Homo-oligomer: A and B are copies of this chain.
Amino acid sequence: MGSEAIDNCLKAIYQLAGDDERATTAGLAEQLAISPASVTGMLKKLSEADPPWIEYQKHHGARLTDRGRARALEIIRHHRLIELFLHRVLDYSWDEVHVEAEKLEHAISETFEDRIAHVLGDPEFDPHGHPIPRRDGTLPDRADSDLIDMEPGTDAEVSRVSDHDPTMLQHLSSIGVRPGVRIHLLERRPFDGPLMLRVGDEQAVHAFGARLAGSIRIRDIRSAAT
């Protein structure tokens, strides 16, 4: 089926544009860390495959076909199952899992996928709180929103954090921020200033700048929480 380059491209389109929006050449070039010219070539190939992986119009970006989306979700399922497996079974820290999963996602068989899913009890979320696509291509849903938009004076639960920067994950870990942990937003400092918040039951107040806050999503505290 698809090569590693193809799989990474489909995954990137899904991550940039989702189910039915179009991803731009420039966006894909940045995401994949290759030149825009190389992206154009790849998009042409993907759209001329039989059956096609994407719908592509020159100068207007690429949109996944059903087949393309299925493949993207398949790779993302691999990635997230592997991340959780590394964390739970092989004792990787959550900042180590992404890089290893990035390679392994292309190397495992469907059998391997099924076995780790079984060992993990058919999990729905990875160590960073990202939903793990099911075999049928559906996604576990968890209504969440950006930390940036949180109402000062309220509480919320960390839903997910971006997994791309290991140093950021280490920092979040060191102050106790991980999916499921409760936070309390004290205030938002003016002129797009930092968010001042407390984590869990700790007294310490942390200042989250835009970069850090932008990589976190939250959800309403589960209602019946005493």
Residues in chain A within 8 A of chain B (CB atoms): 86, 89-92, 96, 99-100, 103-104, 106-109, 111-112, 115-116, 119
State in angstroms the CA–CA spacing of A108 and B91 once bound together: 15
Contact B116 A90 (CB under 8 A): yes
> Which residues of the partner chain B approach A104 to less than 8 Å between Cβ atoms?
104, 107-108
Contact B111 A92 (CB under 8 A): yes
Contact A90 B115 (CB under 8 A): yes
State in angstroms the CA–CA spacing of A86 and B109 once bound together: 12
Number of this chain's copies in the assembly equals 2
Contact of A109 among B100, B111, B112 (CB under 8 A): B100
> Which residues of the partner chain B approach A90 to less than 8 Å between Cβ atoms?
112, 115-116, 119
In the complex, which residue of chain B has the Cβ closest to the Cβ of A112? B100
> Which residues of the partner chain B approach A89 to less than 8 Å between Cβ atoms?
89, 119
> Which residues of the partner chain B approach A91 to less than 8 Å between Cβ atoms?
115
Ranked 7 nearest A-B pairs via Cβ: A107-B107, A90-B115, A103-B107, A104-B107, A100-B109, A100-B112, A91-B115
Looking at the assembled complex, report how far the CB atom of A174 sits from the nearest CB atom of chain B, in whole angstroms. Answer: 21
**With A92-B111, A103-B108, A106-B107 already in contact, 19 other A-B pairs whose C-beta atoms are closer than 8 Å:** A86-B112, A89-B89, A89-B119, A90-B112, A90-B115, A90-B116, A91-B115, A92-B115, A96-B111, A99-B109, A100-B108, A100-B109, A100-B111, A100-B112, A103-B107, A103-B109, A104-B104, A104-B107, A104-B108
> Which residues of the partner chain B approach A116 to less than 8 Å between Cβ atoms?
90
In the complex, which residue of chain B has the Cβ closest to the Cβ of A116? B90
Looking at the assembled complex, report how far the CB atom of A46 sits from the nearest CB atom of chain B, in whole angstroms. Answer: 23
Looking at the assembled complex, report how far the CB atom of A130 sits from the nearest CB atom of chain B, in whole angstroms. Answer: 21
Looking at the assembled complex, report how far the CB atom of A92 sits from the nearest CB atom of chain B, in whole angstroms. Answer: 7
Chosen A-B contacts, 11 in total, with CB atoms closer than 8 Å, are A89-B119, A90-B112, A96-B111, A100-B108, A100-B109, A100-B112, A103-B109, A104-B104, A104-B108, A106-B107, A107-B107
